[in-house]
């Protein structure tokens, strides 16, 4: 039997650009736990996101050096692990057997043998749950139970007399993420399948239903919320932007009827099957197109020069349970409409899950904020740090609109945009907004 012979301390790493400190949100291990290389040790909150930190060591947890809720500096030790070869026990057989039954991957190390941290580089698989070595009696019982389960497992799935739920894997995952029971969702697909819109509509209806009741105030008359993490970063960025860059804002109403028709055609096309398509996709493509025609809106101001960027890292302002973040789609200017749709979908799901990494929120060049999802017509957005333009897409709804001298019902939206007036003059800002509006009015321009 091999014994533990070494002790290692794991220091808080810099998982993002310029990270100086982070808050301990949740420990995934406890003293006495046996851990493997790349097993998640702790979840931390930086100024931009939640990040899971995997272990560079295998061994046994000796001590947690910081508490949940504590903010620590980069480089500070946070956990002590006794390393060395770990003796094999019946628990190892249990874990392997259960992994086979449950189809769970085993933790693996990086091929180079070094530690790979979430947020940069490549990662190996890891277990995110705590592993406790059971007693010999528990081990024998669980091994027997796993063996019995494997023996009883059918070789084929019997046909069900109930009507099957037809749904593609990405839609099934979305339903799981949103907590939607697919069995009670009414499908509207042409072949009787459950579509993405069906799932989202049901989730929204359930959300509205749950929010009908107004929650009671707590017993305390005053609640104090510490200003830290994402909220602290948001406050600093907004104050810095509002009182540094002289903002100027423009607004225009747009007949987006053809955009809505175009979105409907994309949803029904085989090419976009299983991919989320919304007016935001057309808006994103419109902004990229307009940037090419008005490149100074894609700039950065410094005291010495204006840096005009000939690429687009398109930021999408996202409201998450942890606050506002602005992840961006890197090199969006080179993406097809389908690739952009897939990138926007992944960005949204990652942000909703609180898994956006610091690198995904850095180096943005221009931002879209979709306030229409909250039913708002327009607003005056504040510039994202390091950018000179931000565009707001308002809600799209039916309104009376004059077409060829006649009043007709049309799908109308309002585009709002703010600019740094040190860089963007009024004529450039106006042409940029007009270009975005022209694409929403006639998406066929995207084919040019």
- Is residue 421 annotated as part of the catalytic site, yes or no? yes
Contacts of 390 (CB under 8 A, 6+ apart): 317, 366, 367, 368, 369, 381, 382, 383, 384, 417, 418
Q: Please tell me whether residue 10 adopts helix, strand or coil conformation.
A: strand
Contacts of 293 (CB under 8 A, 6+ apart): 431, 432, 435
Question: How far apart, in whole angstroms, are the C-alpha atoms of residue 192 and residue 173?
Answer: 18
Question: How far apart, in whole angstroms, are the C-alpha atoms of residue 385 and residue 383?
Answer: 6
- Where b means 16+ CB within 10 Å and e means fewer, 167-206 reads beebbeebbeebebebeebebebeeeebbbebbbebbeee
Q: What angle do CA 29, 177, 159 make, to 5 degrees?
A: 110
C-alpha closest to that of 24 among 227, 224, 228:
228
- Where b means 16+ CB within 10 Å and e means fewer, 254-271 reads bbbbbbbebbeebbeeee
Q: Please tell me whether residue 448 adopts helix, strand or coil conformation.
A: coil
Give, for 263, the enclosing helix (H) or strand (E): helix 257-267
Question: How far apart, in whole angstroms, are the C-alpha atoms of residue 400 and residue 413?
Answer: 12
Catalytic residue among 126, 210, 247, 421: 421
Question: How far apart, in whole angstroms, are the C-alpha atoms of residue 329 and residue 403?
Answer: 36
Contact present, 417 and 429 (Cβ < 8 Å): yes
Q: Give all strands of the β-sheet with 21-27 in edge-to-edge order.
A: 50-54, 40-45, 21-27, 71-73
Question: How far apart, in whole angstroms, are the C-alpha atoms of residue 75 and residue 53?
Answer: 14
Instruction: Please list the active-site residues.
Output: 421
């Amino acid at each position: 039997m091999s014994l533990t012979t070494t002790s290692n301390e794991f220091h808080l790493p810099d998982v993002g650009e310029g990270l100086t400190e982070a808050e301990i949100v949740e420990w995934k291990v406890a003293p006495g736990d046996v851990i493997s290389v790349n097993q998640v040790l702790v979840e931390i909150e930086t100024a931009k996101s939640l990040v899971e930190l995997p272990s560079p060591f295998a061994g046994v947890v000796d001590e947690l050096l910081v508490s949940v809720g504590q903010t620590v500096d980069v480089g500070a030790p946070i956990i002590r692990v006794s390393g060395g070869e770990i003796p094999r026990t019946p628990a190892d057989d249990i874990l392997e057997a259960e992994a086979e039954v449950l189809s769970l991957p085993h933790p693996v190390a990086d091929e180079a043998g070094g530690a790979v941290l979430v947020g940069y580089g490549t990662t190996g698989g890891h277990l995110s749950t705590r592993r406790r070595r059971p007693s010999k009696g528990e081990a024998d019982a669980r091994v027997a139970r796993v063996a019995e389960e494997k023996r009883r497992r059918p070789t084929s799935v019997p046909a069900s007399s109930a009507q099957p739920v037809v749904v593609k894997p990405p839609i099934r995952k979305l339903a799981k993420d949103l907590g939607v029971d697919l069995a009670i969702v009414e499908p509207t697909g042409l072949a009787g399948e459950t579509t993405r819109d069906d799932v989202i509509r049901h989730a929204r209806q359930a959300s509205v239903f749950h929010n009908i009741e107004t929650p009671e105030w707590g017993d305390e008359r005053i609640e104090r919320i510490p200003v830290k993490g994402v909220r602290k970063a948001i406050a600093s960025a907004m104050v810095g932007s509002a009182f540094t860059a002289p903002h100027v804002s423009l607004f225009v109403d747009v007949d987006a009827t053809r955009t809505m028709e175009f979105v409907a055609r994309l949803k029904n096309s085989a090419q976009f099957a299983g991919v989320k398509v919304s007016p935001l996709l057309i808006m994103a493509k419109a902004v990229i197109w307009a940037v090419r025609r008005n490149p100074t809106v894609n700039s950065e101001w410094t005291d010495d020069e204006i840096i005009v960027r000939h690429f687009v890292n398109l930021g999408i302002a996202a409201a998450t349970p942890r606050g506002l973040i602005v992840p961006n789609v890197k090199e969006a200017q080179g993406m097809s409409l389908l690739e952009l749709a897939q990138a926007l979908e992944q960005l949204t799901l990652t942000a909703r899950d609180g898994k956006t990494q610091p690198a995904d929120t850095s180096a943005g060049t221009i931002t879209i904020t979709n306030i229409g999802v909250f039913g708002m017509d327009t607003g005056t957005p504040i510039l994202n740090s390091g950018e000179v333009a931000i565009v707001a897409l308002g809600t799209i709804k039916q309104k009376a609109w004059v077409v060829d001298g006649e009043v007709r019902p049309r799908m109308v939206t309002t585009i709002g945009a703010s600019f740094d007036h040190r860089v963007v003059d009024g004529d450039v800002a106006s042409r940029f907004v007009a270009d975005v509006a022209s694409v929403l009015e006639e998406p066929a321009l995207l084919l040019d």
